[in-house]
Amino acid sequence: MAESTYPDIALTEHRRAVEDLRREYAALPGDQPVRLTKRTSNLYRTRQKHRGPSLDVRRFNRVLSVGANSAEVEGMATYEDVADATLARGMLPRVVLDCKTITVGGAVAGTGAESSSFRGGLPHDGVREMDVLTGDGRVVTATRENEHAELFNGFAHSYGSLGYALRLRLDLVPAKPFVRLRHIHTVSALEWVNTLVQIDRDGEYHGIPVDFVDGVYFADDAVHLVLADFIDEAPYLSDYTGQGVYYRSLRVRSEDYLTTRDYLWRWDTDLYWTSRLFGLENPLLRRLWPRRY
C-alpha cells in the first residue's frame, strides 16, 4: 500500500482487516459470482435473492484520518460519517451525495451527482488514490499516474466489475458553518436553462458567488433553481430534519438559511418527497415518527 497519513492504530487495524478479507476471498469458490455483504443499500429495485458466496465488507466503514487537504476513508464509510469528520475540521469532500447512507466506495463505483457537483464534478473526480481488491485477489494502490492508472481511470461507473475499493483518499475543500439558499422561480424550462448557463459562465448570480446548484420541477410554469453559497454567519436557521418538509419551502421562501450539515441532508429526511407515500407529510403522524428515521 502507498504511504498513508492515517494514525498508526487505524493503519494497523485497517491492514489486518485487508489481510483477513484477502484470505476470505481466496477461500471462496472461483467459479461463482461473489456478492458483497453490507449494512445498507440505496438501490431501489427488485432483485433476485442471491444464494452464492458473499464477501463481508461491513468492517470497512471508518474514516481513517482527516488531514489538511485530504481524508482517508474506507470503502463502506458513509457520506454522513465522512462529512461529520471533515466538517469538524472546516472541510468537506468536493462532492457529498445527499443520502446519508450512501457509501463513498459505492458512489465512486456507481457514480452520482449532487448540488456540489456544480463545482466538484462527480464523486470520482475528488479521489486521489484507491486501494482496490481485484478479481485475482490482489490489493493494488491505483492513482491517475501510477502503473495501475488504467484501473483507476476505469473504476468509476464500473459497478464492482473491476474490483472493490477498500480505501480511498479524497480531496477536501474549505467549508463554512452555514449555507444561504436562494430560490429562483422561472416560468419555463428554457428560462431555467438560460439562467443556469449564465451562472455556469459567471460563477455567480446577481453578484453573489454560487457554490451549489439544485433544480426542482413542480410544473411547466414553476421550475425552480436553488442556488446556495457558504457563509460565516446566518440571520436565522431553518430546520428540515423533523417537522419541516424541505421541498415545500422552495415555493414559499425566496431565501433560506441552514447549517452546512443540514444543507447536505436537506432532501434526506423525506427522501426527496417520497415520504408522502407513507403518510409522513401528515403533521400528526410526522410528530409521532421517531426523529432518527
| Tens-place pLDDT, residues 163-218 | 999 999 999 999 999 999 999 999 999 999 999 999 999 999 999 999 999 999 99
% of the chain surpassing 90 pLDDT: 73
Would you give the DSSP letter of residue 126? Answer: G
Q: Looking at the domain assignment, is residue 193 inside a domain?
A: yes
Identify the domain boundary among 126, 155, 174: 174
Judgement on whether residues 153 and 34 belong to the same structural domain of the protein: yes
The SS3 of residue 284 is helix
Judgement on whether residues 80 and 218 belong to the same structural domain of the protein: no
Q: Does 12 or 3 have the greater pLDDT score?
A: 12
Judgement on whether residues 17 and 105 belong to the same structural domain of the protein: yes
Q: Looking at the domain assignment, is residue 2 inside a domain?
A: no
* The pLDDT of residue 254 is above 70: yes
Opening angle at CA 40, ends 38 and 44, nearest 5: 120
Question: Distance between CA atoms of 49 and 29, rounded to whole angstroms?
Answer: 19
Number of other residues whose CB lies within 10 A of the CB of residue 256: 23
- Is residue 42 very low, low, confident or very high in pLDDT (cuts 50, 70, 90)? low
pTM of the model: 0.88
What does the pLDDT look like over 81-121, one tens digit per residue? 999 999 999 999 999 998 899 999 999 999 899 999 999 99
Distances 156 to 43, 97, 103, 276 between C-alpha atoms, Å: 17, 15, 14, 33
Judgement on whether residues 169 and 196 belong to the same structural domain of the protein: no
- Is residue 77 very low, low, confident or very high in pLDDT (cuts 50, 70, 90)? very high
Q: Looking at the domain assignment, is residue 36 inside a domain?
A: yes
Mean predicted lDDT score pLDDT of the chain: 89
CATH code, domain carrying 36: 3.30.465.10
Identify the domain boundary among 174, 206, 227: 174
Strand partners, 185: 224
Find the mean pLDDT for residues 145-155: 96
The SS3 of residue 278 is helix
Q: Looking at the domain assignment, is residue 106 inside a domain?
A: yes
Find the mean pLDDT for residues 149-158: 96
Find the mean pLDDT for residues 223-236: 97
Cell of 100: 446519508
Find the mean pLDDT for residues 219-234: 97
Beta strands in the chain (DSSP E): 35-37, 54-56, 63-66, 70-74, 91-93, 127-133, 139-143, 164-174, 178-186, 204-205, 208-209, 212-219, 222-231, 255-259
Question: Distance between CA atoms of 34 and 38, rounded to whole angstroms?
Answer: 13
Q: Does 228 or 41 have the greater pLDDT score?
A: 228
In the chain, count H helices and then E strands.
9, 14
* 131-143 b/e (C-beta count within 10 Å ≥ 16 → b): bbbeeeeebbbbb
Judgement on whether residues 280 and 156 belong to the same structural domain of the protein: no
Cell of 287: 410528530
Judgement on whether residues 108 and 234 belong to the same structural domain of the protein: no
The SS3 of residue 134 is coil
Judgement on whether residues 44 and 187 belong to the same structural domain of the protein: no
Cell of 85: 469528520
Closest CA to 244 of 279, 292, 283, 293: 283
Judgement on whether residues 82 and 223 belong to the same structural domain of the protein: no
Identify the domain boundary among 150, 174, 198: 174
Judgement on whether residues 34 and 168 belong to the same structural domain of the protein: yes
Cell of 50: 442471491
Would you give the DSSP letter of residue 48? Answer: P
Its domain, for residue 212, covers: 178-288
Residue where the block lists cell 457554490: 211
The SS3 of residue 129 is strand
Question: Distance between CA atoms of 263 and 226, rounded to whole angstroms?
Answer: 12
- Is residue 288 very low, low, confident or very high in pLDDT (cuts 50, 70, 90)? confident
Q: Looking at the domain assignment, is residue 74 inside a domain?
A: yes
% of the chain surpassing 70 pLDDT: 91
Judgement on whether residues 193 and 80 belong to the same structural domain of the protein: no
Q: Looking at the domain assignment, is residue 1 inside a domain?
A: no
Q: Looking at the domain assignment, is residue 107 inside a domain?
A: yes
Q: Looking at the domain assignment, is residue 35 inside a domain?
A: yes
- Is residue 47 very low, low, confident or very high in pLDDT (cuts 50, 70, 90)? low
- Is residue 20 very low, low, confident or very high in pLDDT (cuts 50, 70, 90)? very high
Judgement on whether residues 153 and 228 belong to the same structural domain of the protein: no
Judgement on whether residues 162 and 182 belong to the same structural domain of the protein: no
Q: What is the pLDDT of residue 4?
A: 43
Residue type, 121: G
Q: What is the pLDDT of residue 8?
A: 64
Question: Distance between CA atoms of 241 and 18, rounded to whole angstroms?
Answer: 37
- Which stretch of 28-42, 50-64, 77-91, 106-120 has the lowest confidence by average pLDDT? 28-42
- Please tell me the total count of domains within the chain: 2
